[in-house]
Structure 1
Amino acid sequence: MIRYLHRILFAVAALLVAVAAAAAMTSPEVSAAPTDSPGSTVTTQQPQTPSTTQTPSTTTPAASTSQTSTEPAPTSTTPNSSTTRPGAGTVTVQAIDVKTNIPVSGVGVELASGNTVRTVNTFARVEMPAGVVSASVTAIPDGYARSWVDPSSAYLPPGGQASFIVSLVRTGQVGAVSITKRDAVTGALLPGARYRVTAAHSDLSVILSTSPSGTGSVQVAPGGYTIQEIGAPAGYLLDSAVRFVEVVPSQTRSLELYDAPVEQPVIVRDPSGRVPLTSIPTGRTH
């Protein structure tokens, strides 16, 4: 019986030792886990949090830098577009001697398109706004008496071209047109008549007006011209006829033209002053 109790006590003691050993083995692992866990939590999470925070901050400057570098691109494109000027075209100006067809330099030409006005010399190539461009001569070299631009205006399409040619005539090579205006009924000289003299070889035209003496003249380059009245003297009907003349150097083409009065004059006849028909010789001898 005693042996049996000893055995039981020994078994219980062994069991207690085993339990204590198991508890001892389990206790270090549990204590080690908390010891490692706080350390890992502090040392691991703190570096990760700044590194994660720094990554967006590093990316943000990079993005802003790329945007800053791309902003000048539109700025550099704007001057290029203004230089090309898609709403403009090219205008060329030349000048020639009418008699020799030799180019002439030193001729000033004023170009106007909208609000843009430029003065250039001949053999120029300039950019002008698209639209109707008009040209007029502002200066000619010495030795020349007359000049005109052909055409006087032209349409310049966007991105297109237009050209003007200045024709020059030397002194002594010009001719003239002279007009004497009279009353168609009485033959009296009439001042204030206005005529348009237009060159047949270009769109050049000049206005001729009769002076108080009833005459007017204008110098023109050699060639054909049409003459049409555009303003009649006060109290007279406008003459709608168009006349053509040929002008030669150093000569004047003279015309005598008539206008009929609006109100025809009343002619008073005196019957007492009439000559009897019987008193007029018949030529009969018997």
Structure 2
Amino acid sequence: MSVLALDSDTGQPVRGAALYVTDRNGRRTIVTPTSITVPAGEVTITASDAPGGYRYEGSLFRSGLVEPGKISSFTFQLRRKPVGGGSINAVARNRVTGAPLRGAAFTVETCTGDFMDTVFTGADGIAPLTGLPAGCYSVTETGTPTGFVDEADTRRTTVANGRTATVTVYDLPTHYRVVRDPTHRVPVRSIPTGRGE
């Protein structure tokens, strides 16, 4: 299987685009350009981190059938980010521990609905998007790390030239249980009615 990332303006290959490959043996990370051997059958490739100065363009997913003895090719498009403007840091954290979450995906659009980019958090839990013109933007978490549930809320923020706006979400672990202990309840002594009683 061959995987390439191409500059959408020049058509030239771009090195360093990170992607996830999932086949019947599990999931692993690859970096473009690459050729790897996978077992015959269904394979899915998901965009992860774009190299510095680039953003993914178009669909972030590819899937197909790999046949025995044949080479299947998959291509992703990248576009250079504009220089200047302001930026957004989309941040994902564990709601229980506060720890940063790697691999969360955020989609950024203008407040009028124009798609700008999809970015992914790194080990620090931050997904930066730079070179944005000043204005209003909506940020939505569109993918969570394995084992977490997203907040499913869209946040709005304003970007100013030379400034960074930060949007933080707190994802809940899927297996987290709230333990209730009735022995530590606080008794209610009175409830104000607002009628002077």
| Larger proportion of helix | 1
TM-score (norm 2): 0.47
Which has the higher relative contact order, 1 or 2, with Cα contacts under 8 A spaced 6 or more apart?
2
Based on CA coordinates, which of the two structures has the bigger radius of gyration?
Answer: 1
TM-score (norm 1): 0.33
